[in-house]
Copies of this chain bind each other. A is one copy, B any other.
């Protein structure tokens, strides 16, 4: 307990919603999913061009997070130069549907 009267509980939670929200809450993340959904599997370079304004660093970072949560797959072909393609998994498509429904709701709000 702090002087504030606040309980200083660590937030273990493990709440499923919390996990997804943390995944989505970073800058650019929903934009990336949006492009992958509209464009289908896309290579790193094109993805960077389509998500206008994102840097290579952040793009890679977000893709790694999304991959780790099983929302996006990564296909690596060890050619020279390498060809890496990213796309939505089944989970990713489910999540995208949910985001589209939120989009619709917010759109109706004006």
A interface with B by C-beta (< 8 Å): 2, 4-11, 15-21, 24-26, 30-31, 34, 48-49, 52-56, 70, 91, 94-95, 98-103, 105-107, 109
> Given A24-B25, A25-B24, A101-B101, does the pair A18, B31 have CB atoms closer than 8 Å?
yes
Chain A interface helix/strand/loop/mixed: helix
Oligomer copy total: 2
B99 x A6 contact (CB < 8 A): no
A9 x B52 contact (CB < 8 A): yes
A16 x B53 contact (CB < 8 A): no
Contact of A102 (CB < 8 Å), options: B4, B55, B98, B105: B98
Chain B: which residue is nearest A105 at the CB level? B94
B91 x A95 contact (CB < 8 A): no
- A54 contact set on B, CB distance < 8 A: 6
How far, in whole Å, are A54 and B95 apart by their CA atoms in the complex? Answer: 28
- A17 contact set on B, CB distance < 8 A: 30, 34, 99-100, 102-103, 106
